[in-house]
Amino acid sequence: MKNYKVIGLMSGTSLDGLDIAYCTFNIDQSWKFEIIHTETIEYSDEWVERLESLFNADDKTLTQTNLEYGWYLGKLTICFIKANNLKPDFISSHGHTIFHQPEKGFTLQIGDGQAISDIVKLPVIYDFRTLDVQLGGQGAPLVPIGDRLLFPDFDYCLNLGGIANISFEKDNQRIAFDICPCNQVLNHLSRFLGQEYDSDGLMARQGIVNHNLLEKLNALSYYSQNPPKSLGREWVENSFLPILKETSISEFDLLATCTEHFAYQISRVAINGGKMLISGGGAFNKYFVDRINSLSNCEIYIPDDIIINYKEAMIFAFLGVLKWRHEINCLSSVTGGRRDSSSGVIIK
């Protein structure tokens, strides 16, 4: 096959909801893609609570929720298929990350692939991270193979999601890693001010950067580690948020300081200049983007809203295509695994 019609499913750490993207991929001398239909389905309060609480759940609850979340994904997907009169070849699902501790040899994205397949009556590809972790890798980030093959015109591809991550070419290898927390922290702080997120960065813009706090955050040991490296909810909760709790400044100042910190860490990585593509929900945060633009010497490119919102869902659809073709979709130069791999589990 040279033409593929795939639905990608993506649920990020910020718990904004489920991103669904119906995409086409065509291969001739190079890969081309088109995002045809999209939808974001906001999680109910019940699902937000269930997903957040799984981190401390017992084995029985975790197993049951894995199955029920798979059914839930399947039901949302079949509704999406029927509403848009689609005939996809298969479904490619990231799932929702509950644990990510590659240094201990495990990672878990729930959303049982067989449960999804039972509902949609189509092949499903899922569990894209486990194989690389078993190979000694970080299991993340996985998007860089899509950056390389689908966005070759950009020197840097920056994603501002729950975690900020970046990918770029260096010495003929794709390098990528998680830079720092992002919307996971900014949204957390915004909720103390009665908002789900900091629209356009207006609240951060009202605050004053606290340089003592900024120095403490910049001194975190993660930032001095060489890649491959990745971040998870555990690190944010155990290493980052406690520093914020030790301070007595306002939420506005916390937002301003964290935004400045994240922009600074991004500028430290993108030191060579060039064209930078920014996607993910943070691309809508005008103040945040302004700070990145001010601190880095990159030419910033903000794509259309569809790419901003659905690039990750689209690339997970593409990871499924590569897995379907038995081609490499996980790069050891990115994750630190012992070898490149074709990651994911296929349910037919």
Rounded CA gap, 58 and 168, in Å? 40
Q: Are 8 and 317 in contact (CB under 8 A)?
A: yes
Q: Which two tokens stand for residue 8?
A: 């990608």
Comparing C-alpha atoms, which of 164, 45, 60, 62 is closest to residue 108? Answer: 62
Q: Are 41 and 20 in contact (CB under 8 A)?
A: yes
**Of 108-112, 152-156, 158-162, 312-316, the least confident:** 158-162
Q: Look up the pTM and report it.
A: 0.87
Beta bridge partners, 169, equal: 174
Angle separating helix axes 286-295 and 251-269, nearest 10 degrees: 40
Helix (H, G, I), strand (E, B) or coil at 23: strand
The answer, yes or no, to whether residue 55 has pLDDT greater than 90, is no
**Which amino acid appears at position 30 of this protein?**
S
pLDDT of 284 reads 96
Q: Are 111 and 20 in contact (CB under 8 A)?
A: no
Q: Are strands 345-347 and 124-126 parallel, antiparallel or unpaired?
A: antiparallel
Comparing C-alpha atoms, which of 260, 82, 322 is closest to residue 331? Answer: 322
Q: pLDDT tens-digit profile of 93-115?
A: 999 999 888 889 899 999 999 99
**Which amino acid appears at position 305 of this protein?**
D
Comparing C-alpha atoms, which of 79, 127, 136, 75 is closest to residue 105? Answer: 136
**Of 33-47, 222-236, 285-299, 305-319, the least confident:** 222-236
The answer, yes or no, to whether residue 246 has pLDDT greater than 90, is yes
Helix (H, G, I), strand (E, B) or coil at 219: coil
Domains and CATH numbers, the chain: 3-140+310-347 (3.30.420.40), 144-306 (3.30.420.40)
Q: How much is the average pLDDT of 34-58?
A: 94
Number of neighbouring beta carbons within 10 Å of residue 2:
8
Q: Are 157 and 179 in contact (CB under 8 A)?
A: no
Rounded CA gap, 114 and 127, in Å? 11
Confidence band of 12 (pLDDT split at 50, 70, 90):
confident
